[in-house]
């Protein structure tokens, strides 16, 4: 049985995929994959996700240059979540310019949050509208 045959996609044909820095273990982001994006990721060694907002494949870094080189792909025990261990080229995984999408930390018992200042690039300069 292959990975693609084992994956349990949701009703929309998607599976959550967590990208983790291969060297540090830092969680960088979570995105969605469909069968096609997973196939391309495994075949090319570069992270490809499914963009729900654009309704198309999203090749990570196609605009920013901050690609993810996939070192390994893991499937959880229920076969419904993927973990991609990646080398984050360019230093930023988040479209906001932060290293990780998880740059906000909940504080005050859930009444507030703080933001890290690990911004790697200016999104206004990268994403032209």
Question: Does the residue 24 lie in any domain?
Answer: yes
User: What pLDDT sits at residue 110?
Assistant: 86
Range of the domain at 75: 3-93
Total domain count for the chain? 1
pLDDT digits (tens, 9 = 90+) for 60-80: 999 899 999 999 999 999 999
**The CATH number of the domain where 9 resides is what?**
3.10.20.810
User: What pLDDT sits at residue 39?
Assistant: 96
Q: Which residues of the chain have pLDDT under 70?
A: 129
Q: Angle at CA 40, nearest 5°, toward 36 and 45?
A: 150
Is 73:55 a contact under the CB 8 Å cutoff?
Answer: no
Interatomic CA distance for residues 121 and 97, integer angstroms: 5
Question: Does the residue 125 lie in any domain?
Answer: no
Question: Does the residue 120 lie in any domain?
Answer: no
């Amino acid at each position: 049985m292959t990975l693609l045959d084992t994956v349990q996609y949701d009703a929309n044909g998607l599976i959550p995929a967590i990208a983790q820095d291969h060297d540090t273990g830092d969680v960088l982001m979570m995105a969605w994959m469909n069968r096609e994006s997973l196939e391309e990721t495994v075949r090319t060694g570069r992270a490809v996700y499914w963009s729900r907002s654009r309704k198309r494949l999203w090749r990570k870094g196609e605009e920013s240059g901050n690609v993810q080189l996939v070192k390994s792909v893991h499937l959880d025990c229920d076969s419904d979540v993927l973990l991609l261990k990646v080398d984050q080229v360019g230093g930023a995984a988040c479209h906001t310019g932060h290293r990780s999408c998880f740059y906000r930390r909940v504080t005050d018992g859930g009444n507030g949050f703080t933001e890290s200042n690990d911004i790697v690039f200016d999104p206004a300069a990268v994403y032209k509208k």
